[in-house]
Amino acid sequence: MSDSDGIRKPDILGFAMGILEESESQEVRAQIEGDAVYQTVLTKTRRLLEPLEADRSPIEAPRGLAKKALALIRENQAQAALDADIAGFAIQALDEGEMTLAKKEIENNPIAKSLFKRLAISQKALRSDRAPIQAPSGLARKTILHVRTSVSRTMPAAPPLSRDYDPRLRRSWGLRADLFAAAGILIMFGGVIWPAILHQRQNQKDLECQNNLAQIWRGVATFASFKNNQLPKPDLKGSRSVAGIYAPLLVENGFANPKTLHVDCPVGIEKYPTHIFPSLQTLDHLYKNDRAQWCEVVQGMGGNYSYSLGHMGKNGQHGGFDLRAGDRHPLMADSGHHRASHNSPNHSGRGQNVLYLGGNVRFRNQRNIGQSGDDIYLNRHFSKRAGLDGDDCVLGNSGDRPNELNE
């Protein structure tokens, strides 16, 4: 039978492996049953596939395999422990009781005795290195002589003086142009270069201050993302009713690292002071039991930066700012001066760095930069208390409170 007869050759291999569909399998079976040649080919094919069929059968683990494996593991562990004890005995690193047990094992166990002998041979090389080095005789005397010879070595003679040199002649000061040049350089350095260096250092400190405020804003923004976009704010009354409460809130909620949270302007200081931020529980306890100590703690926990005191709503409730309010509202700045119209003392009265809600930090030369050009350190009633509404931004120093009442 051939393809030229119009009949397709049967898939004998697929039939033998049982991978054909049912309709194809019936068709191939009919062709094989009607042709003796196909039957012979099928028999040979199945004979060749027998090794593969044998591999399909599941492998049965011999009985007791798990038990033998555990026994082998225990034996290896015991051998490892024995090797460690013998090594410790060889270098005298065991306790007195362990030394006694290891000695008995070496005396009664031939394998342990053989291992101890090999370790003892290896230890000889280590002991030889421990022997003190004997200095050759006369080494100290030879060293002293060598140093003495080097110190008293004769220096080469100085070159002869020029024949034109006459020590009796003295050069006139009027001919010393090099002195005038040096004086001019010193004058230029004192009048131009030195002020430029001071100005550069000043700018560097201003940038460090801006970086501090930007770092604090990242913690504040993360806090708001977990609090329905509400920024940290002081309470209207109670132990947490101060502007500096922002720092303990960030630290205790895990949004700022107390070791890297710098709440001090770097201008005028060599290094940042170490701040220990009190816990909210500590503030509650001090407020209830020791009001004087509480006042002392809250004065410094916010550093020398000022923070928003919040604002009063139409219903008389105290509220803070929303992170989505935009970039027009000041949120933090350098600490405010105790006298109105004066710039922050942090930058020698030149101005203050101001952090806005959007995270931008700008250096301002005046403090009237609120929503309507009002003072950022006083509300519209010229009082350092909470703002009168959402557009009245007031920044208070660490111990400043949003409420005039002292309950």
The separation between the first and the last C-alpha atoms of the chain, rounded to the nearest angstrom, is 111
Region 19-28: mean pLDDT is 87
Judged by average pLDDT, the poorest of 36-40, 119-123, 277-281, 328-332 is 119-123
* Separation CA 118–CA 3 (nearest Å): 80
Structure-token pair, residue 218: 């990242």
The residue with tokens 């080919």 is 41
The 10s digit of each residue's pLDDT in 341-352 is 899 998 888 899
At 112 the pLDDT is 76
Residues in the chain: 407
pLDDT category, 234, cuts 50, 70, 90? very high
At 232 the pLDDT is 92
* Separation CA 312–CA 52 (nearest Å): 86
At 250 the pLDDT is 92
Q: Are strands 305-308 and 361-364 parallel, antiparallel or unpaired?
A: unpaired
At 296 the pLDDT is 92
* Separation CA 325–CA 358 (nearest Å): 8
pLDDT category, 164, cuts 50, 70, 90? low
* Separation CA 207–CA 215 (nearest Å): 12
Region 378-402: mean pLDDT is 89
Q: Is the pTM of this model over 0.85?
A: no
Structure-token pair, residue 238: 């109670």
Instruction: Map out the domains of the chain as residue ranges.
Output: 3-52, 82-114, 206-396
| Mean pLDDT of the chain, nearest integer | 81
At 4 the pLDDT is 42
pLDDT category, 126, cuts 50, 70, 90? low
The 10s digit of each residue's pLDDT in 207-222 is 889 898 999 999 999 9
Region 304-324: mean pLDDT is 87
* Separation CA 261–CA 219 (nearest Å): 9
Residue 266 has pLDDT above 70, yes or no: yes
Task: Assess contact for 246 and 217: CB atoms under 8 A.
Answer: no
At 163 the pLDDT is 56
